[in-house]
Amino acid sequence: MPTVKVHQTELYFARAGQGQPALLFVHGAGGDHTLWGQQLRDLAQNFTVAALDLNGHGRSPARAGDGVQTYVADVLAVLEALAAPTVLVGHSMGGAIALTVALQRPKNLIGLGLVGTGAKLKVHPQILELCQTDFERAVELVISWAFAEHADPALKDKARDSMHRNGQAALSRDFLSCSTFDVMNRLSEISVPTIVICGREDKLTPVKYSEYLQQNIPSAQLKILERAGHMAMLEQPTAIAQALQEFCEQLL
């Protein structure tokens, strides 16, 4: 995996494919780059694709500081390393990071993909409490809310394994970061084309969150995926890859 230096610590990211625009994928709370595996494989046939491990996740060591702000620094570093017109795709907390990055208007950002996220991500108090007091119960509660009713148990295992791998400190920091995130009054400042994608059965960031994004980000488009919950990139991987491919083709 390639690396970049961010404040003297190594940040790891996966990279594959060739072609423009590039796509950079940002995982959500407790996750890492592996949750985007199918999209990387599908889209690498036509585009340069990358997915990072935010600091404190996967192979990237943690750095001190506010969660969202350190994660934004991570994304900006990989954007610079890609050195190409890039569509930034974020899931849940990753979507919050993507929105925050977009508001800074980095020069090579040409589009946004927002998957299962919102302009405000207030976290249920029970999740925040359990992240501090009972990590195993926190993981199981998140899993119980994160998938559509008929989701394959193997997909739940993949998400569960990711949270266990990254640990209690990362999950707690991530959800605390989400809980204070709010750019509801700044969406009109987003200046790049945007696609908003949401699972119809998303319980953590319901469809109304995505509808608000679409209605308040200039020229944003909305795609709702049937039979998908919050972890839509695992539940409907081909549909998300296809939606992103069509979106990128519109930018060319």
Separation in Å, CA 9 to CA 4, 70, 94? 8, 12, 20
Q: Is the pTM of this model over 0.95?
A: yes
Q: Average the pLDDT over 201-222 and give the result.
A: 97
Q: 198: Cβ–Cβ under 8 A, 6 or more apart, which residues? A: 115, 116, 205, 207, 209, 210, 222, 223, 224, 225, 232
8 Å CB contact between 200 and 226? yes
Query: In this structure, which CATH number among 3.40.50.1820, 3.40.50.880, 3.40.190.10, 1.10.3720.10 belongs to the domain 3-251?
Result: 3.40.50.1820
Q: How many residues does the chain have?
A: 252
Q: How confident is the model over 113-130, as pLDDT tens digits?
A: 999 999 999 999 999 999
Residue 88 pLDDT:
98
CB atoms within 10 A of CB 129: 12
Q: Average the pLDDT over 87-115 and give the result.
A: 98
Residue 252 pLDDT:
78
The domain limits of the chain are: 3-251
Question: Does position 194 have pLDDT exceeding 90, yes or no?
Answer: yes
Give the position of tokens 């390393």. Answer: 81
Separation in Å, CA 168 to CA 28, 141, 249? 14, 14, 40
Phi first, then psi, for residue 90 (nearest 5°) are -130, 140
8 Å CB contact between 216 and 181? no
Question: Does position 67 have pLDDT exceeding 90, yes or no?
Answer: no
CA distance 88 to 181: 18
Q: How confident is the model over 233-246, as pLDDT tens digits?
A: 999 999 999 999 99
Dihedral over Cα of 96, 97, 103, 108: its sign = negative
| SS3 state at 131 | helix
Question: Does position 1 have pLDDT exceeding 90, yes or no?
Answer: no
Share of the chain above pLDDT 90, in %: 96
**Angle, alpha carbons 56-20-197 (nearest 5°):** 60
CA distance 167 to 104: 30
Residue 72: its H or E element: helix 67-82
- Report which residue type is found at 12: Y
In terms of pLDDT, which residue wins out, 30 or 7? 30
Question: Does position 55 have pLDDT exceeding 90, yes or no?
Answer: yes
Q: Average the pLDDT over 15-34 and give the result.
A: 97
- Confidence band for 162, pLDDT divided at 50, 70 and 90: very high
8 Å CB contact between 86 and 51? no
Chain centroid offset of residue 72 CA: 12
CA distance 108 to 139: 36
Question: Does position 35 have pLDDT exceeding 90, yes or no?
Answer: yes
Question: Does position 198 have pLDDT exceeding 90, yes or no?
Answer: yes
Dihedral over Cα of 70, 92, 186, 79: its sign = positive
CA distance 121 to 178: 5
